[in-house]
Amino acid sequence: MRIIAGSRKGARIFTPKGLDTRPTADRVREAAFNLLGPGAAEDATVLDLFAGSGAMGLEALSRGAAHATFVENDREACRTINRNLDKLGFDNATVLCQDALTALRADARHVTRYDLVLVDPPYRSFSLQNTMIQHLPEILAPDGTLLVETAADEEPELPLAKLKSRRYGAARLTIFEHA
């Protein structure tokens, strides 16, 4: 895997060993940032939920994000994200090794808002995350954007305005914002 664009374009990144994570393919990451539009990550505060290798958040940092918070509950994946941050020389990031719901509840309680939220849960599980879904609008900045990656046949629904939804092979990318 590699960074697609920005200051670290072409840099290879580490992925966690094993089958517990499913890193977002280069092609899908490129499509995601194309859907978000040019400059979507620039100066943004980014939240990468179910971060895995951190590829999506790292891509945002490479494209000029001000800060990225990575949330991942797998310890090996957290170590991999930290290795990638060190390798790429990013110090404007936080890695939280905890489950997504715990992180969202804390952010909602502390009124933390993000300009760009990237959500990539295990395929076929997004619609099962009802408690998590209710917190997503609370942590999205008023003019923020939320990108959800799901299985191609899973159409995510949120209490936010759906802007775009596109299939890319086995993946679906859906973009939301406040109405």
CA distance 168 to 179: 26
Q: For residue 61, what is the domain's CATH number?
A: 3.40.50.150
Domain span at residue 87 reads 26-121+132-177
Considering the domain boundaries, does residue 147 fall inside one?
A: yes
> Do the domain assignments include residue 60?
yes
Portion of the chain with pLDDT greater than 90, in percent: 78
Rounded Cα gap, residues 6 and 29, in angstroms: 13
Does 107 map to a domain? yes
pLDDT (tens digit per residue) in 36-75: 999 999 999 999 999 999 999 999 999 999 999 999 999 9
In a domain, 2, yes or no: no
Residues of 114-139 as b/e, b for ≥16 C-beta within 10 angstroms?
A: bbbbbbbbebeebeebeebbebbbeb
As for how many domains the chain has, the answer is 1
Question: In 60-133, which ranges are E strands?
Answer: 67-71, 93-96, 114-119
- This prediction has a pTM of 0.94
